[in-house]
């Protein structure tokens, strides 16, 4: 797959000396959804803002479809749509006029039919004459998306699109993002929510302290690092595990009541059944049990912890 955004040695140091980005190298493939994960202040927004032209990089270069973001800024910016993190909208503008404004700003000829379809797709059309201040938070978020898509961009940046929105709207947002992907748009989104990256992203990048710690296909990452844990709670505490269970490499808690078995999620199903049977055979009585799946969240927390 060919890359549409290419970032080389990108660094940003603010006037106060804060290093927001440290030597970032990244290629984003055409037509993919890339999720950038990272804690607050990791540099996600700085990275996005730099590519979009809002922040000037200190070092390094970014090209969009082969064009430099500084030298050929008109070409690169015409290809990009940006949905900012904050609900930044003029209070008295109307939905219809604000999307028209965005389209004009990005040098596109007026096209009522396209904008009408766009608003309909985002369930905004019946609000087209409403003043922006009268809209709910979720609707405002949709308006921001409509503005970003008003000029038919090839690349869409979504800065925390689902921060502070309810579950239903989040799922809706995911649907919209997938639909965009189907039309060939490359999508880069930042998020705190690991489940979001897991649910919709083809690729995951982890940023912390301005460094890109990892970039990998979501599935590869999950396969590589995905483990499951079976936690068994015993009725009576024990001081030592039966020797015969050594092959499972079990872990006994200090209280002597919890046994943890870590296994590979791909192939470990059978061993669980065997282990449970053995436990019964050795006269241990199980009171409760649960299975925990290691998620992207654990992977993420581990990576960030190491980096800190």
Partner 1 sequence: MINFRAIKVIYLNEMTRFWNTLFQSIASPVISTALYFVVFGSAIGSSIQSIEGVTYGLFIVPGLTMLSVLTQSVSNASFGIFFPKFTGTIYEILSAPISFYEALIGYVGAAASKSMILATIILFTANFFVDLDIAHPFWMLAFLVLTCVSFSLFGFIIGLWAGNFEKLQVVPLLIITPLVFLGGSFYSVSMLPPFWQTVTLFNPVLYLVSGFRWSFFEVSDVSVSTSLFMILVFLVICLSLVSWMFKTGYKLKE
What are the residues binding partner 1 (CB under 8 A)? Answer: 14-15, 52-56, 73-75, 77-78, 80, 82, 84, 86, 88-93, 97, 100-102, 104-109, 147
Closer to partner 1 by Cβ: residue 106 or 261: 106
Considering beta carbons, is residue 87 or 303 the nearer one to partner 1? 87
DSSP sequence for 256-284: S-EEEEEEETTT-HHHHHHHHHHHHHTTP
| Beta carbon nearer to partner 1, 67 or 265 | 67
Beta carbon of residue 217, minimum distance to partner 1 (angstroms, whole number): 29
- Shortest approach of partner 1 to residue 207 CB, angstroms? 18
d(CA 254, CA 92): 62
Q: How far is the CB of 97 from partner 1 (least distance, A)?
A: 7
Which backbone phi and psi does 226 adopt, to 5 degrees?
Answer: -80, 115
DSSP string across 132-196? GGGS-HHHHHHHHHHHHHTT--SEEEEESTTTT--HHHHHHHHHHHHHHHHTT-EEEEEES-HHH
CB of 206 to partner 1, least distance (A): 24
Cβ atoms 87, 144 nearer than 8 A: yes
Q: Which is nearer to partner 1, 93 or 297 (CB)?
A: 93
d(CA 154, CA 174): 18
Which residue number, 86 or 270, has a Cβ lying nearer to partner 1?
A: 86
Helix (H) / strand (E) containing 19? strand 19-29
Q: Least distance from C-beta 270 to partner 1, angstroms?
A: 54
For partner 1, the closer CB: 14 or 282? 14
Please state, in angstroms and rounded to a whole number, the distance separating the CA atoms of residues 123 and 136: 13
Nearer to partner 1, 9 or 104 (CB): 104
Min dist CB 4 to partner 1, Å, is 17
Q: For partner 1, which is the closer residue by CB, 15 or 308?
A: 15
Q: How far is the CB of 247 from partner 1 (least distance, A)?
A: 58
N residues, the chain = 308
In Å, how far from its chain's centre is CA 156?
13
Q: Rounded to the nearest 5°, which phi and psi values hold at 236? A: -115, 140
DSSP 56-78: --SEEEEEETTEETTTTHHHHHH
Return the SS3 of 104: helix
Q: Least separation, in Å, of the C-beta of 36 and partner 1?
A: 17
């Amino acid at each position: 797959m060919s890359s549409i955004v290419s970032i080389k040695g990108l660094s940003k140091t603010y006037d106060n000396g804060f290093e927001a980005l440290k030597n970032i190298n990244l290629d984003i493939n055409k037509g993919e959804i890339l999720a950038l994960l990272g804690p607050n202040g990791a540099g996600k927004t700085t990275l996005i803002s730099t590519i979009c032209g809002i922040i000037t990089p200190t070092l390094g270069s970014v090209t969009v479809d082969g064009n430099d973001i500084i030298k050929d800024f008109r070409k690169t910016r015409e290809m990009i749509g940006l949905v900012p993190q904050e609900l930044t909208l003029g209070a008295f503008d109307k939905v219809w006029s604000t999307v028209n404004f965005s389209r004009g700003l990005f040098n596109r000829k007026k096209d009522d039919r396209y904008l009408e379809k766009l608003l309909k797709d985002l369930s905004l059309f019946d609000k087209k004459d409403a003043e922006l201040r009268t809209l709910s938070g979720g609707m405002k978020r949709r308006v921001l998306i409509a503005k970003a898509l008003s000029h038919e961009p090839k690349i869409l940046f979504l800065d925390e699109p689902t921060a502070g929105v309810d579950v239903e709207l989040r799922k809706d947002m995911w649907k919209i993002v997938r639909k965009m992907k189907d039309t060939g748009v490359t999508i880069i989104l930042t998020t705190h929510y690991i489940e979001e990256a897991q649910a919709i992203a083809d690729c995951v990048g982890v940023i912390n302290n301005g460094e890109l710690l990892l970039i990998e296909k979501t599935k590869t990452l999950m396969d590589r690092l995905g483990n499951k844990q079976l936690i068994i709670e015993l009725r009576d505490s024990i001081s030592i595990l039966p020797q015969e269970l050594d092959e499972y490499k079990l872990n006994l808690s200090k209280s002597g009541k919890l046994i943890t078995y870590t296994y590979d999620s791909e192939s470990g199903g059978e061993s669980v059944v065997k282990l449970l049977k053995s436990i019964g055979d050795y006269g241990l009585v199980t009171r409760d049990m649960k299975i925990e799946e290691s998620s992207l969240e654990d992977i993420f927390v581990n990576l960030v912890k190491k980096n800190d």
